[in-house]
Amino acid sequence: MKNYITLLLISFLSLQVANLSAQEKKVSIDDFITEHNNFEINDDGEIKPLNNKEINKKIKFFIEEKFVIVDYTRNIIWDSYETFLSPYDIYHKHTFIVQVKLKDKTRLKYLKVYYNPKSEKVTTKSEWDEEESEFLEVEKDKEPEAINS
């Protein structure tokens, strides 16, 4: 019985360690400063679009993995940079608009993706809507959990 309790305790602790390591690290103020210092201004006072080959590769790979209907990506254009600070959360992300060619479609389509410079991950809120024949942004609402569940 003692060995069984020890085994359960070890299992519980290893799950807790795994859970902590799976959580994304919070963005620091230094991360924001570094990201802002990387922006360049052109002669007209406009921010030069971010054009990083490694980020573009990640975006292209993400789209090819997530959307099997995409034949190939064309233009990957930096659109914006956003920061969010609140008492409970802190993050930043770059938004890109990607021109894609779909299988069995003649017109090119546009897809919005997000790049997190801290985690170096690409995400999207878009899903392909066959009825509309467009990528539509879908907000994934969390179902409220019952209090007694």
Q: What is the spatial distance between Cα 38 and Cα 55, in angstroms, rounded to a whole number? A: 14
Q: Is residue 7 part of a domain?
A: no
Q: Give which of 127, 123, 126, 128 is closest to 105, Cα–Cα.
A: 128
Q: Is residue 13 part of a domain?
A: no
Q: Is residue 4 part of a domain?
A: no
Q: Is residue 1 part of a domain?
A: no
Q: Is residue 72 part of a domain?
A: yes
Entry pTM? 0.75
Q: How many domains does the chain have?
A: 1
**Which neighbouring-strand residues pair with 114?**
95, 123
| Structural domain span for residue 39 | 24-137
90 sits in which H/E element? strand 90-102
Pairing of strands 109-116, 121-123: antiparallel
Residue 19 pLDDT class (50, 70, 90 cuts) = very low
* Residue 58: predicted pLDDT: 96
Q: Is residue 145 part of a domain?
A: no
Residue 145 pLDDT class (50, 70, 90 cuts) = low
In a 10 Å sphere around its CB, with 0-12 CB exposed, 13-18 middle and 19+ buried, how is residue 43 labelled?
exposed
pLDDT per residue as tens digits for the range 22-77: 556 778 888 888 888 888 888 998 888 888 999 999 999 999 999 999 999 989 99
55 sits in which H/E element? helix 53-66
